Amino acid sequence: MNFARHAFLIAVSTFLAFGSAKAVLAQGADEKMLLHPPADSWPGYHGDYSGRRHSSLNQVTPQNVGNLALAWAFQTNQTAPIKSSPLLVDGILYITVPDNIWAVDARSGHQIWHYNRPTSQGEHIGNRGVAMYKGYLFFSSPDAHLVSLNAKDGTVRWKVQVADVTIGYWTSMAPLIVENHVLVGVSGDFDNLSGYIRAIDPETGATQWQWNSTPPTGTPNQTTGGMTWMTGTYDPDLNLVYWGTGNPTPVLNGSTRPGDDPHTCSIVALNPDTGKLAWAFQVSPHDTHDWDAVETPVLVDGDFHGEPKKMLMQSSRNGYFFVLDRTNGKSLLTVPYGPVDWALGIDSQGRPIPNPAKEPAPDGRLIAPDEGGMTNYRSPSFDTKNGLFIVDAHPSWSLYFAKPADGVYGWAGADYGVWGKGVIEAIDYQTGKIRWSHELGPESGAGVLTTDSGVTFTGDGMGNFLALDSSDGKTLWHAGSGSYIVSSPITYELGGRQYLLTSSGGVLFAWALPQAH
């Protein structure tokens, strides 16, 4: 008996020793981890490269999610709301707000280190999180620099300029690591500037290539804009990176930029090694409503009307849901997922045809959706089990104005939201039909996460975290958070326990099933 117990303890110790040896050997986010994230990691903005924000974890189920309880909470003690998606590598979480990064123990929620470098330039509207390559972190600062830090202690390795903050750029996005490239995008809207994606060497900070979404400022009859606000996705087999581009500038007045204004409001496919454009699909030709197409380009392999397809799906800010063949950028489906009144129809390429009568005008035009759009930067999720694309939508109406006195620089007009609401929509990707919907009250800023067990995690417009049944949208669990939710949830498993990570205001919440102490 004693011997047996002793032997058992040795076995346990040996197991633990192997477990910790593995942890000691962990060297940050290597290529293998980024391609196939283990259950105890969330090594990129979207988790994996697909942008599906769908987890294979199944400890938390529709049957037991009602028991979900707080495991821990982490408070930034700042008024800036957390808009980032946490990164998790080697048991350590990294969350951000502008000028700040926290490294937090994913088991306990206690702070390991805090990077805080106030910058005085650039719009401080939010930060979407860090990227990781080996043991290095990469962080976009409001003054349009890329900062690289040592993940172990938050010390700065180098800081390089990505764009010139003094002429109107800033940065807020979470970089994307592909092989030995750190891919970064730029933000801006108040100036007639070109958007671009830049690849930066993770070791040295040197620029590897740059792809410009629009011609240089001042090119006659050509648009500017096409900012690259958000993190793209990646298909390693096709070796293509997919990225959404923002609206053209001037924003609400298209008179100086006749035609379609390529490559604004577009989904583009680039070779990550060269930056060469493989194809581009424009979701909003000649946009005059500020509808960036930077929502997650979600990559799904599966059946489309009886044929296996490599697809790309986007619930776009302009109110349309798009399914493309991501090998060539050809349209498979274009269908609205809420009220839209600005298009005359769909052209032969699957693009909405903008109605000139719905461009902003001196006496105003009633437009659906509003400028914030049918959705925005918050992440959707593709539920692989039910074949549903689940998005936090915002059916809405607004008034758009533009007159000659408003000029042709920057905004060049005005718009006013009149009414809107929030609703989680589960879209059948083969038809665009809404399989189920769940009303949220006013617009919610919460993204969506789905799990193989059949649970959808999100939040409503009053600050309640929600768990819904992925098959019908019924509420399974909720918790009032005390503030507004403007981030997307993640999940991971550590020590045999599945955690759901959500944030609202300046607080990060970890939820798990109750555990004996």
Partner 1 sequence: MMNSLLSTRSAVLAAAWLISVVASTAQTSANTKQSDSGVKQNPAAAKSYPPDLVQQGSALFRKDCSFCHGRDAGGGETGPDLTRSKLVTADVSGDKIGEVVRDGRPDKGMPPFDRSDQQIASLVAFIHTQQDNALASAGGRSGSGGRKGVDASDLQTGNAEAGKQYFEGAGGCAACHSPSGDLAGLASRYSGLELEEQMLYPRHAKSKVSITLASGQTIGGTLAYLDEFTIGLIDSTGTYRSWRTRDVRYKVDPALNAHVELFPKYTDADIHNLMAYLQTLR
Say if residues 62 and 456 touch (Cβ distance below 8 Å).
no
Determine, following the binding rule CB under 8 A, whether residue 236 of this chain makes contact with partner 1. Answer: no
* Calpha distance 133→321 (Å, rounded): 33
- Nearest distance, CB of residue 405 and partner 1, angstroms: 5
Determine, following the binding rule CB under 8 A, whether residue 24 of this chain makes contact with partner 1. Answer: no
- Nearest distance, CB of residue 291 and partner 1, angstroms: 12
Instruction: Report which DSSP code applies to 67.
Output: G
* Calpha distance 347→260 (Å, rounded): 13
Q: Site residues for partner 1, window 112-141 (CB under 8 A)?
A: 120-125
Binding residues for partner 1, rule CB under 8 A, total 62
Name every residue whose Cβ is closer than 8 Å to that of residue 53 and which is 6 or more positions away in sequence: 46, 47, 296, 379, 380, 381, 382, 447, 448, 449, 450, 488, 490
* Calpha distance 49→42 (Å, rounded): 11
Using the contact rule CB under 8 A, the part of the chain among 28-36, 344-352, 400-408, 494-502 near partner 1 is 400-408
Using the contact rule CB under 8 A, the part of the chain among 87-95, 269-277, 309-317, 405-413 near partner 1 is 405-413
Using the contact rule CB under 8 A, the part of the chain among 48-56, 173-181, 326-334, 401-409 near partner 1 is 401-409
Residue (114 or 276) nearer to partner 1, CB:
114
User: Measured between alpha carbons, how far is residue 245 from residues 181, 250, 253, 263, 316 in Å?
Assistant: 19, 15, 18, 7, 11
Instruction: Report which DSSP code applies to 163.
Output: S
Phi, psi of 33 (to 5 degrees): -65, -40
Residue (414 or 507) nearer to partner 1, CB:
414
Determine, following the binding rule CB under 8 A, whether residue 418 of this chain makes contact with partner 1. Answer: yes
* Calpha distance 147→152 (Å, rounded): 15
Cβ burial of 276 (10 Å; 0-12, 13-18, 19+) is exposed
Say if residues 294 and 246 touch (Cβ distance below 8 Å).
yes
Print the binding letters for residues 305-344 with partner 1: x by CB under 8 A, - otherwise. Answer: ----------------------------------x-x---
Bridge partners for 196 per DSSP? 212
Q: Site residues for partner 1, window 287-306 (CB under 8 A)?
A: 290
Determine, following the binding rule CB under 8 A, whether residue 15 of this chain makes contact with partner 1. Answer: no
Using the contact rule CB under 8 A, the part of the chain among 215-223, 326-334, 346-354, 458-466 near partner 1 is 458-466
Residue (139 or 170) nearer to partner 1, CB:
170
Name every residue whose Cβ is closer than 8 Å to that of residue 88 and which is 6 or more positions away in sequence: 40, 41, 42, 43, 94, 106, 490, 492
Dihedral, CA of residue 507, residue 56, residue 381 and residue 196, to nearest 10:
80
Q: Site residues for partner 1, window 193-212 (CB under 8 A)?
A: none
Place of tokens 């009303």: 439
Name every residue whose Cβ is closer than 8 Å to that of residue 457 and which is 6 or more positions away in sequence: 448, 449, 450, 451, 465, 466, 467, 468, 489, 491, 500, 502
Determine, following the binding rule CB under 8 A, whether residue 473 of this chain makes contact with partner 1. Answer: no
Print the binding letters for residues 62-81 with partner 1: x by CB under 8 A, - otherwise. Answer: ----------------xxxx
Binds partner 1 by CB under 8 A, chosen from 57, 346, 399, 494 = 399
- Nearest distance, CB of residue 488 and partner 1, angstroms: 17
Residue (269 or 412) nearer to partner 1, CB:
412
Binds partner 1 by CB under 8 A, chosen from 72, 113, 209, 397 = 397
- Nearest distance, CB of residue 442 and partner 1, angstroms: 5
Using the contact rule CB under 8 A, the part of the chain among 41-49, 279-287, 344-352, 410-418 near partner 1 is 410-418
Determine, following the binding rule CB under 8 A, whether residue 167 of this chain makes contact with partner 1. Answer: no
Binds partner 1 by CB under 8 A, chosen from 34, 368, 390, 501 = 368
Residue (237 or 363) nearer to partner 1, CB:
363
Residue (18 or 416) nearer to partner 1, CB:
416
- Nearest distance, CB of residue 336 and partner 1, angstroms: 12
**b (16+ CB within 10 A) / e for 188-218:** bbeebbbbbbbbbebeebeebbebebbeeee
Determine, following the binding rule CB under 8 A, whether residue 356 of this chain makes contact with partner 1. Answer: no
Residue (19 or 442) nearer to partner 1, CB:
442
Residue (91 or 417) nearer to partner 1, CB:
417
Which residue type, as a one-letter code, is found at position 251?
V
Tokens of 54: 């769908």
Residue (49 or 229) nearer to partner 1, CB:
229
Closest by Cα among 289, 318, 265, 285 to 399: 289
Residue (425 or 460) nearer to partner 1, CB:
460
What angle (nearest 5°) sits at the alpha carbon of residue 226, between those of residues 175 and 95? 25
Binds partner 1 by CB under 8 A, chosen from 20, 204, 475, 515 = 475
Say if residues 455 and 53 touch (Cβ distance below 8 Å).
no
Using the contact rule CB under 8 A, the part of the chain among 15-23, 32-40, 328-336, 393-401 near partner 1 is 393-401
In sign, the C-alpha dihedral spanning 231, 235, 241, 243 is negative
Using the contact rule CB under 8 A, the part of the chain among 107-115, 186-194, 308-316, 488-496 near partner 1 is 186-194
In sign, the C-alpha dihedral spanning 134, 181, 279, 352 is positive
Determine, following the binding rule CB under 8 A, whether residue 8 of this chain makes contact with partner 1. Answer: no
Interface residues toward partner 1, by CB under 8 A: 78-81, 120-125, 142, 168, 189-191, 290, 339, 341, 357, 361-366, 368, 371-372, 397, 399, 401-403, 405-407, 409-421, 439, 441-442, 445, 460-462, 464, 475, 478, 480, 483-484
